[in-house]
Amino acid sequence: MDRLQSMKVFQRVVDEGGFAAAARALDMSPPMVSRLVADLEDRLGTRLLQRSTRRLALTDAGQAYLNRVRNILQDIEEADEL
C-alpha cells in the first residue's frame, strides 16, 4: 500500500479511537487497517500506538508523527482545491 494511504489510515484510527471504528469509517476490514498501521510502524522503525484490549494511546513518536501527518494531509487537500 502507498505511504499516503497509510497516513490517512493512521490518522483515522486516532480520530475514531480504534481500529474497528476506523475500519468502518474507511469501509475496510479491521485486519487491513491493523496491517497498514503495523506496516507504517515497521517502516518508521518505531511504535506509534500503544495497544491494549481496552485502550489505544499515542506514543510520543505517534503524537509527533500525527501532527506532521495532519499538516501534510491538509496541504494536499488545499493543493487539490486549486
Domains: count for the chain: 1
Does residue 1 surpass a pLDDT of 70? no
- The more confident residue out of 1 and 23 is 23
- The more confident residue out of 35 and 1 is 35
Report the CATH number at residue 71.
Answer: 1.10.10.10
Q: Are 69 and 36 in contact (CB under 8 A)?
A: no
Number of other CB atoms surrounding residue 40 within 10 Å:
21
CA distance 21 to 33: 10
Domain that holds residue 36: 3-80
Mean of the pLDDT values across residues 44-71?
95
pLDDT tens readout for residues 18-52: 999 999 999 999 999 999 999 999 999 999 999 98
Mean of the pLDDT values across residues 45-70?
95
Residue indicated by cell numbers 481500529: 19
Average pLDDT of the chain is 95
